[in-house]
Structures are given as C-alpha cells and as structure tokens.
Amino acid sequence: MGKQFVQLEPVHRDFIQRQHIFFTASVAEQSRVNVSPKDGSSLRLLGPNAVAYMDRTGSGNETAAHLLADGRLTLMFCAFEEPPLILRLYGQGRVLHRGSQEYLEMLTAAFNGLETPGARHIIVLEIEMVQTSCGLGVPLFDFIEERHGLDRWAQSKGEEGLRQYRVQKNARSIDGLPTGLPEAQGIPVQEEVLLPK
C-alpha cells in the first residue's frame, strides 16, 4: 500500500543513502517522457524537502530541457536487496549551470568543492511529496561494482573536448527543446572548480 509524506523522514534518508542507483523522470508538453538512471553517489540530501545531484555530460540533456519548459521532476529509488521498497520524490526541479554562482555555491556546500569528471550541471529538486510503495515486484540483484567508463571518457575528452561535445549534443532535447546550456549561448563557463584525483 502506497503512503505519502510531506517531507523526507529519517528512514527515507537512510534508505536513499544506501542506494547505488536512482532514476529520474521528466516531461514537457508535447515531448517524450524521459527516464534516466543516475549514480547513487552523485546525490546529496539538502534537507527534509530538497535534494541535489551532479549531472554529467552524456549523449542527451533531456532533464534540463524539460525543467526549463515545465519544471516537474520525479526521482525514484528501488530496493534491489531486502527488504523491498520503492521510494519516489515528486517536486519541482531546477538546473544550476556549471560555472554559475549558484552552481559554485552548491558545489562548495554539498559536494566539498569537487566535481565528478564530465560534470555538466547540478540538478536541485524541491520536494513536494514523498511516496513509498511495497516494491514486492522488484527483483533482487547483487551489486558487483561501479563502472568507470564514463570517468575515463570524460577525462580523455578534456575540458575543451567536453565543451564542444555539449554544444553539439546537449544544446537541445531530442524533441528540439532548448536546454539552457550556457556554452550553446556563447556564455563563458567559469572553470574554478577542483576535480578529484
């Protein structure tokens, strides 16, 4: 039986922090629905009604486009080990573009000033509702290890290669919606950030 909450409770926070993966869902009027897996270590709990995650350069930028056009965002976490549980966070999302003052402040406050290789922007979700459900239909999986291919790809591209890639691949959604990407608008991106060794 599903239950709704107005904020994250301690038991929800504990559950989220144990997850290796979560999923984002977003949509805008007359666009395709986007569902995307994200690395659990990219997420930060900001308070009872807010979370943020470091979004990395990839082949698409659907979430940013949908948030610019619509604002709605859902995050879903599933227990792939016992006990079963599905937890969804519903709310309004916003994009903190890399190099902006908001981004740098969030990077410092929530990520210890460290970017993941290929960081593109930080997504913040203001939570309006938390919902849990049984998760009895989710199969059991064993976690083996993290993949490091995206790290290696981003490092091999370098800053200029990533910038060019984002301009080419991340400026518009697959439905042609603008993503607000600063590089695509000719806005310089401040690079005063630290990358993990």
In a domain, 107, yes or no: yes
In a domain, 158, yes or no: yes
pLDDT band at 2 (very low <50, low <70, confident <90, very high): confident
H/E stretch holding 14: helix 10-17
pLDDT higher than threshold 70 for residue 189 = no
H/E stretch holding 26: strand 21-26
In a domain, 196, yes or no: no
In a domain, 143, yes or no: no
Expressed as residue numbers, the domain containing 155 is 3-135+149-185
φ, ψ of residue 87 to 5 degrees: the values are -130, 130
Residue 120 to residue 60: CA distance in whole angstroms = 11
In a domain, 191, yes or no: no
Residue in the block written with tokens 């056009």: 69
pLDDT higher than threshold 50 for residue 157 = yes
pLDDT value of position 197 = 40
pTM for this prediction: 0.92
pLDDT value of position 121 = 97
Structural domain count of the chain = 1
pLDDT higher than threshold 70 for residue 136 = yes
pLDDT value of position 188 = 61
CATH number at residue 57: 2.30.110.10
pLDDT value of position 187 = 63
